[in-house]
């Protein structure tokens, strides 16, 4: 029996209690501390340590656990003295362990329609299985999708804990006004949450400094990725994105990106690309399927196609200010091109395609993801005008039952044949 089967079997019996005990994660943390990874694997160790530490602290309950949605800047919750927990990320972790079908079934039993995004269904299934740290409060941000807000509202009702909604203005006509308005909202939120959380100026200083350091390393990583052939696998980058979604503002986030920068620098310096026979370079839009699948092996090993960059790894925000933290955090939120008019995302896609000198762009169309799929027409038309081939690859990031191997392979292969001309 392998580890996945062991976990899956324990999910259905009393063994589940071990996964909800802080001591379980503490033990794993200690074991991980003794792990001496091979050269180049330090970021993986840091990432694992971060998640074990997060779960340990979240179950230990010394600090309040704040459930929030992806793309809420984690610095907001770290600065408020809470532990950010993004259930969508843990749905992806469950999928990577092959456990998503169990949780998706649980969500179905709780009346959640298959029409709902599988990130949320997976997370809801984990919630109904009581296999996630319960929140002390729920903080939803109205970006990027309304489904996330509804899902978090359901979580708040399920756990009977307070629900806060941070309304993110659509930065259309007056970006400056939007930033001021959001900064005031953030300041008010921090004031309102003071009795629940532990806002202290030194925490804000630390969070801002860690976030800014990590940002500098991530910028360097992204610059190194412009190298041809690529020094970093797109499949890994699409998994590592969870570090900048959740760990920015912590020592883990800074260490992770510092080590990653060192790795890529060494690879570039010693001419050790991840794919020596690189034939095509691709830009990836949206996330990837997180359950075990052949997609990236198929692209990389069989066709020499490297995912050179991903839109979700772009650094779109400026440094956070220690002196005016909430104002700079508002700027970071509003700088996300995935929020607001589709034109912002389209402009970024064209610019990244040029910067990373890609041959084509793949948009992974997650079933149920309105906010991403809604801009496909504009993406396709604009990229076509710039003579950049585009593939809209329909699939599912979490629910492997929606992954059709044959059809996906034919679409990908046809796209690569099209690039070959």
Partner 1 sequence: MITAGIDVGSNTTKVVILRDGEWLGDALVLTGADNRGSAEKALAQATKAAGIKRTDIAHCVATGYGRINIPFADRKITEISCHGRGAYAVFPGTRTVIDIGGQDSKVIRIDAPGRVVDFIMNDKCAAGTGRFLEVMARALEITLPEMAAIASKSKNPVTISNTCTVFAESEVISYLAQGLPKEDIIRGLHEAIVDRIESMALRLGVEQEVTMTGGVALNKAIVATLRKRLKQTLLLPPQPQLIGAYGAALIAANQA
Please select the residue that binds partner 1; options are 57, 206, 319, 411, rule is CB under 8 A. Answer: 411
Q: Is 417 in the site for partner 1 (CB under 8 A)?
A: yes
DSSP 168-190: PP--SS-HHHHHHHHHHHHHHHH
Q: Are 123 and 147 in contact (CB under 8 A)?
A: no
Beta-carbon-side half-sphere exposure of residue 100 (alpha carbons within 13 Å): 28
Place of tokens 């690529």: 230
User: Could you give the CA distance from residue 372 to residue 283 in angstroms, rounded to a whole number?
Assistant: 15
**Number of residues counted as binding partner 1 (CB under 8 A):** 13
Smallest separation, CB 330 to partner 1 (Å): 39
Smallest separation, CB 65 to partner 1 (Å): 38
Sheet holding 360-366, edge to edge: 305-310, 280-285, 360-366, 390-395
Smallest separation, CB 403 to partner 1 (Å): 10
Question: Which uninterrupted H or E stretch holds 360?
Answer: strand 360-366
Smallest separation, CB 365 to partner 1 (Å): 11
Between 236 and 413, name the residue whose CB sits nearer to partner 1. 413
73: nearest Cα among 334, 310, 256: 334
Between 174 and 407, name the residue whose CB sits nearer to partner 1. 407
CA of residue 174 relative to chain centroid, distance: 28
User: Could you give the CA distance from residue 167 to residue 182 in angstroms, rounded to a whole number?
Assistant: 8
Smallest separation, CB 124 to partner 1 (Å): 24
Choose one: 53-61, 96-104, 179-187, 413-421; the region binding partner 1 (CB under 8 A): 413-421
Please select the residue that binds partner 1; options are 185, 216, 262, 413, rule is CB under 8 A. Answer: 413
305: nearest Cα among 240, 393, 385: 393
Give 166's strand partners. Answer: 141
Residues 370-409 that bind partner 1 (CB under 8 A): 394, 402, 404, 406-407, 409
Please select the residue that binds partner 1; options are 12, 277, 357, 410, rule is CB under 8 A. Answer: 410
Choose one: 20-28, 75-83, 137-145, 412-420; the region binding partner 1 (CB under 8 A): 412-420
Smallest separation, CB 161 to partner 1 (Å): 39
Between 199 and 409, name the residue whose CB sits nearer to partner 1. 409
**Is the bond preceding residue 144 a cis peptide, omega within 30 degrees?**
yes
Q: Is 277 in the site for partner 1 (CB under 8 A)?
A: no
Between 276 and 406, name the residue whose CB sits nearer to partner 1. 406
The set of residues, in sequence order, having a beta carbon less than 8 Å from that of 341 and lying 6+ positions away, is 170, 172
Residues 172-211 that bind partner 1 (CB under 8 A): none
Between 23 and 407, name the residue whose CB sits nearer to partner 1. 407
User: Could you give the CA distance from residue 102 to residue 105 in angstroms, rounded to a whole number?
Assistant: 5
Q: Are 162 and 137 in contact (CB under 8 A)?
A: yes
349: nearest Cα among 380, 374, 394, 307: 380
User: Could you give the CA distance from residue 87 to residue 399 in angstroms, rounded to a whole number?
Assistant: 15
Between 221 and 282, name the residue whose CB sits nearer to partner 1. 282
Smallest separation, CB 384 to partner 1 (Å): 8
Please select the residue that binds partner 1; options are 12, 316, 351, 414, rule is CB under 8 A. Answer: 414
Q: Is 418 in the site for partner 1 (CB under 8 A)?
A: yes
Q: Is 301 in the site for partner 1 (CB under 8 A)?
A: no
Q: What are the structure tokens assigned to 379, written together?
A: 């993406």
28: nearest Cα among 57, 42, 48, 8: 48
Choose one: 4-12, 195-203, 254-262, 410-418; the region binding partner 1 (CB under 8 A): 410-418
Smallest separation, CB 171 to partner 1 (Å): 31
Smallest separation, CB 418 to partner 1 (Å): 5
Q: Counting Cβ atoms within 10 Å, is residue 176 exposed (0-12), middle (13-18) or buried (19+)?
A: exposed
Smallest separation, CB 408 to partner 1 (Å): 9
Q: List contacts with partner 1 (CB under 8 A).
A: 394, 402, 404, 406-407, 409-411, 413-414, 417-418, 421
């Amino acid at each position: 029996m392998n580890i996945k089967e062991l976990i899956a079997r324990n999910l259905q019996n009393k063994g589940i209690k071990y996964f909800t005990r802080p001591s379980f994660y503490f033990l794993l943390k200690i074991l991980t501390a003794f792990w001496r990874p091979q050269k180049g694997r330090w970021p993986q160790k840091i990432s694992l340590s971060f998640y074990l530490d997060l779960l340990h602290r979240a179950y230990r309950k010394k600090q309040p656990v704040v459930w929030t949605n992806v793309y809420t800047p984690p610095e907001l919750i770290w600065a408020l003295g809470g532990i950010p927990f993004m259930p969508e990320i843990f749905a992806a972790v469950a999928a990577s362990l092959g456990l998503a079908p169990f949780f998706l079934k649980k969500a179905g039993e709780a009346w959640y329609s298959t029409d709902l995004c599988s990130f949320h269904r997976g997370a809801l299934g984990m919630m109904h299985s009581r296999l996630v740290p319960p929140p002390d409060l729920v903080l939803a941000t109205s970006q990027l999708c309304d489904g996330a807000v509804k899902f978090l509202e359901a979580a708040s009702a399920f756990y009977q804990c307070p629900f806060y909604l941070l309304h993110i203005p659509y930065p259309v006509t007056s970006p400056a006004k939007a930033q001021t308005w959001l900064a005031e909202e953030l300041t008010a939120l921090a004031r309102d949450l003071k009795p629940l959380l532990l806002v202290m100026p030194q925490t804000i200083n630390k969070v801002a400094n860690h976030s800014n350091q990590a940002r500098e390393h991530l910028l360097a990583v992204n610059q190194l990725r412009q190298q041809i052939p690529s020094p970093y696998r797109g499949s890994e980058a699409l998994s590592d994105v969870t570090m900048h979604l959740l760990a920015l503002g912590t020592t883990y986030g800074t260490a992770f990106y510092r080590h990653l920068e060192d790795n890529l620098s060494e690879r570039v310096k010693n001419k050790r690309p991840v794919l020596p026979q690189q034939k095509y370079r691709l830009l990836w839009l949206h996330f990837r399927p997180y359950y075990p699948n052949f997609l990236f092996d198929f692209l990389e090993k069989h066709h020499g196609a490297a995912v050179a960059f991903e839109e979700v790894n772009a650094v779109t925000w400026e440094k956070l200010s220690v002196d005016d933290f909430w104002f700079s955090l508002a700027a970071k939120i509003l700088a996300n091109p995935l929020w607001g008019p589709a034109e912002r995302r389209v402009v970024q896609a064209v610019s990244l395609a040029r910067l990373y000198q890609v041959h084509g762009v793949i948009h992974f169309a997650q079933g149920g993801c309105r906010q991403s799929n809604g801009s496909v027409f504009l993406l396709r038309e604009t990229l076509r005008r710039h003579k950049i081939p585009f593939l809209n690859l329909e699939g599912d990031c979490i629910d492997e039952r929606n992954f059709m191997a044959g059809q996906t392979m034919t679409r990908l292969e046809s796209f690569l044949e099209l690039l070959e001309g």
